[in-house]
Amino acid sequence: MAGGNERSMKTLKEVWRRSENSLCADCGKPDPDWASSTLGVFVCLSCSGIHRNIPSISKVKSLKMDHWDDAQVQFLAKHGNAVSKATYEAYIPIYYYQPTYNDCQVLREQWIRAKYERKEFTKPEKHLLYSDGVKEGILWKRGRDNGQFLPRKFLLSEREGCLKYFTKQDAKEPKISVKVDVINATFQPAKIGNPNGLQITYLKDNKTRNIFVYHESGKEVVDWFNAIRSVQFHYLKVAFPIASDNEIKNRLTRNFLKEGYMEKTGPKQREAFKKRWFTLDHRRLMYFKDPLDAFAKGEVFVGSRENGYSVQKGLPSGTQGNFSWHYGLTIVTPDREYLFTCETETDQLDWITAFTSIINQAMTPQEYAIEAYFKFKS
């Protein structure tokens, strides 16, 4: 820590060591070593870069390498992360998604701008565009067959409880109309190839359909994301009147537990293993030929341990199918075994961890109904 008199340096260290300042004020990452001399918050390196892009609001400095004068240290001492949260996060709607350090750049940037630049959560009566119960606008949607992104009109309605999109601006009938309770939305910048890429999935005839969209404006695409969560929240409040707000919040959009390539073989376990893109969305393991396919080639239900499901490292002895990757794992279900191979041991262990986390959870009544559908289908 460069410069500053001894007393200031001691005070700075004491403020920095306060438990309230042990996590980044914006993403929760442990051990932040940057701070804003104008907001009085302690932030991680990644969030400090976002603050630096809003110089009219925040001026950030390194706690280890930069000089802090006495006035700046006293300002930090009077503020800190707890005071900041009480001010800038006083009235966050329960449905609003608060990103962590594992989330993508656009989510974290818009969260930081919403708090400090737009002051969206400082007053209870503040009007929030994503809480109107209706949102209409253009999103660039990837074509299912040609892969081109084209502008499409989307309409989200709390009153109707659905999301629609139209192939033409003046179209009277939507191309699709989806009930909000079967929608999931998750940011996928790397997969979609756009920093503001959003994947919207929904169930149709109990099968998962993917739509890939983006918007040039980070604020607009994050507003769409939170508008979906807002409409879902109010829809579910009516559908489940005795459920607590937190129970409903846990049923809103969710990130996938894991995605990536594995190889799989067919039910006879004698066919060659084929490389597929896998998505684990809670108890649904879906596989695709290509990560941007609209429909899965197949789905596997992953139940709970008490119902006869387990994951095992390696393949059964005597497995006959040809495979090019050598880190195997087996999903055991009451009806059959599913065999997969991974390219690296790290992938193998990560998949086993993800499956184990699901298998160790008890199933809900709704999940028993999904399991029954999968059994009936097979």
67-110 pLDDT tens trace: 888 998 899 989 999 999 999 999 999 999 999 999 999 999 99
Least confident of 45-49, 206-210, 230-234: 206-210
pLDDT at 1: 43
Which H/E stretch holds residue 144?
none
The yes-or-no verdict on residue 24 having pLDDT over 90 is yes
CATH of region 1-117, choose from 1.10.760.10, 3.30.420.40, 1.10.220.150, 3.40.640.10: 1.10.220.150
Q: How do residues 116-137 score in pLDDT, each as one tens digit?
A: 999 999 998 777 777 788 899 9
The yes-or-no verdict on residue 191 having pLDDT over 80 is yes
Q: State the distance between the two ends of the chain, measured CA to CA, in whole angstroms.
A: 64
Work out the percent of the chain whose per-residue pLDDT is above 90.
69
What stretches of 13-98 adopt beta strand conformation (E)? 34-36, 42-43, 60-62
277: its two tokens:
């893109």
Tell me what the mean pLDDT of segment 202-231 comes to: 93
Burial 255-271 (b: 16+ CB within 10 A, else e): bbbbbeebbbbeeebee
Q: How do residues 127-182 score in pLDDT, each as one tens digit?
A: 777 778 889 999 999 988 788 999 999 999 999 999 999 988 888 889 999 999 99
Phi, psi values for residue 15, rounded to 5°? -65, -40
Q: Does domain 134-250 have CATH number 2.30.29.30?
A: yes
63: its two tokens:
């706690």
Does this chain's domain 1-117 share its CATH topology with 134-250? no
For the domain covering 258-376, report its CATH number.
Answer: 2.30.29.30
Residue 88 CB coordination number (10 Å) = 21
Confidence band, pLDDT 50/70/90 cuts, at residue 377 = low
Closest listed residue to residue 376, CA positions, set 301, 269, 276, 284: 301
pLDDT at 3: 44
Tell me what the mean pLDDT of segment 37-57 comes to: 95
Q: How do residues 326-365 score in pLDDT, each as one tens digit?
A: 899 999 999 888 999 999 999 999 999 999 999 999 988 8
The yes-or-no verdict on residue 321 having pLDDT over 80 is no
- CA gap 361, 303 in Å, rounded: 8
92: its two tokens:
């966050």
Domain boundaries, the chain: 1-117, 134-250, 258-376
Contact yes or no for 151/140 (Cβ under 8 A): yes
Distance of CA 177 to the CA centre of its chain: 23
Pairing of strands 327-332, 337-342: antiparallel
Q: Quick one: DSSP state of residue 101?
A: T
Could you tell me how many residues make up the chain? Answer: 378
The yes-or-no verdict on residue 274 having pLDDT over 80 is yes
Handedness of CA 39, 40, 43, 46 (dihedral sign): positive
The yes-or-no verdict on residue 2 having pLDDT over 70 is no
For the chain, what is the mean pLDDT? 90
